[in-house]
């Protein structure tokens, strides 16, 4: 069965997309720990990040690095990377802009309008 992230890639489930290329997709986490909390995923569905092919791993990490610099520039905040690997069986990296109120496990409640405003602010185009 396809993971929720594969369903997002296939357009079956909507997302607040900020970046996409032929190998990766990045979108806002709908249960964010901070404003701008972004998920970067490979389009290839594998459970664990270390199961990715070298090519897909490199593509994922290239996008993670590129978007981290982009988020840091736009938000003027340090970007935390998290690779948890237990919440969705599809490799992914969390990019979290850090602020003084962040703590592990915190979840913000944002409206659709707030998500859309953040998406527009963070959207990346090459």
Residues known to be catalytic: 92
Buried b (16+ CB within 10 A) or exposed e, 68-96: bebbeeebebebeeeeeeeeeebbbbbbb
**Residue whose C-alpha is closest to residue 23's, from 51, 72, 61, 50:** 61
């Amino acid at each position: 069965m396809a993971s929720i992230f594969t369903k997002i890639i296939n357009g079956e489930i909507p997302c607040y997309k900020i970046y996409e290329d032929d190998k990766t997709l990045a979108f806002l986490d709908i249960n964010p720990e901070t404003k701008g909390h972004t998920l970067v995923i490979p389009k290839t569905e594998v459970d664990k990040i270390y199961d990715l092919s070298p090519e897909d791993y490199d593509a994922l990490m290239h996008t993670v690095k590129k978007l981290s610099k982009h988020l840091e520039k736009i938000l003027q905040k340090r970007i935390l990377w998290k690779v948890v690997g237990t919440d969705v069986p599809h490799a992914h990296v969390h990019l979290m802009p850090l602020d003084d109120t962040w703590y592990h496990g915190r979840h913000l409640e944002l409206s659709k309008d707030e998500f859309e405003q953040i998406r527009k602010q963070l959207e990346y185009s090459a």
